[in-house]
Chain A
Amino acid sequence: MANITNEEIIQHIQTDLPGCILSAEESFGMCTIEIPANQVKNLFQFLYAHPQMEFQFLTDLCGIHYPNQVDKELGVVYHIHSLVNNLRLRIKAFVPKANPQIESVSSIFKSANWQERETFDFYGIVFTGHPNLKRILNVDEMTYYPLRKEYPLEDQHRTDKNDSYFGR
């Protein structure tokens, strides 16, 4: 049983970091908050060090692309876990595709290092302050960010397949 409720978490954040929460919702008992991209490091530091909350475990960090969300096309979703309270929190931050920059949290969570590289690799989101931001899974020569919803799934560089056999 959690020692702290979702409402109390939101209360704590609103008191100490006013204006940090853009929106908050709860689904299946898990709280989701959206924050401005420039507040990421601030908020994570606060949640990590807070004596009641102690969100000290980063479960997951990933990117997402909403092509129709003007000026908030690219997003980063963080899942953090408070082990002492057995409570999880989902945090979303969005950046414009024209300038996809967000603060790195790798100085707070060591595990964020590779996950941020992966997010950069597939979505082109630049994590400022990351110690070694380069592609991690794809070949270094790749010139695009393959999981952005801008490209057909198939390899565009191949010459040997006759498209008419594949209905395209």
Chain B
Amino acid sequence: MSIQIADAPPGIQGQGFFATSIDKAVGLARANSLWPLPFATSCCGIEFMATMASNYDMARFGSERLSFSPRQADLLMVMGTIAKKMGPVVRQVYLQMAEPRWVIAVGACASSGGIFDTYSVLQGIDKVIPVDVYVPGCPPRPEQIIDGITKIQELVKNEPLRRRNSPEYQALMASYGIK
């Protein structure tokens, strides 16, 4: 069995030292130790359980520790149909997460309402909170969910350390009425 170690970010290496930007170093650490908060409401949640279990094992990507408290979570995973009545709950969970935070919408329902084009269902969670990665499928297979997670990892690695101070990010938050 071989142990895989994440590649070092680009930097300057010499005898006994390695220099890189703190953005890259922190990004590497964050990306490989994401704590996801599962918000599972229906069948996509079942696929997520398979994703976390031994066959697919999301722990391989550093996400073995699920956080059931939003205050300790880095990544909100919304999986399943979100009824309009559930919308404020999703939003509150998001608000309780500390920065930096990312959101992944797993499945057709969380992304767009899916087949539930009806009066009682929220037509995509991006109506109430900003979303970083959308995973299509009804429900998506565990491979697709892992693909979404690795997309999130790319974002985490490459985002500036203080993205929450950027005017774009603040404008995005303001568009959702989040301070």
Interface residues of A (CB under 8 A from B): 137-139, 142, 146, 151, 153-156, 158, 160-161, 166
Q: A138-B85, A139-B84, A139-B85 are in contact. Are A146 and B119 (CB under 8 A)?
A: yes
Interface SS of chain B: loop
Q: Given A139-B85, A160-B123, A160-B124, 17 more contacts at CB 8 Å? A: A137-B85, A137-B120, A138-B84, A138-B85, A138-B119, A139-B84, A142-B119, A146-B120, A153-B117, A153-B118, A153-B119, A155-B113, A155-B117, A156-B119, A158-B123, A161-B123, A166-B117
Interface SS of chain A: loop
Task: Tell me the nearest residue of chain A to B116, going by C-beta.
Answer: A155
Complexed CA–CA distance, A151 and B123 (Å): 18
A-B contact count (CB 8 A): 33
Tell me which residues from 138 to 169 in chain B have a Cβ below 8 Å from any Cβ of chain A: none
Q: Are A155 and B85 in contact (CB under 8 A)?
A: no
Contact with A along B99-142 (1 / 0, CB 8 A): 00000000000001100011111011000000000000000000
- Nearest CB in chain A: distance from B159 CB, A: 26
Task: Tell me the nearest residue of chain B to A138, going by C-beta.
Answer: B120
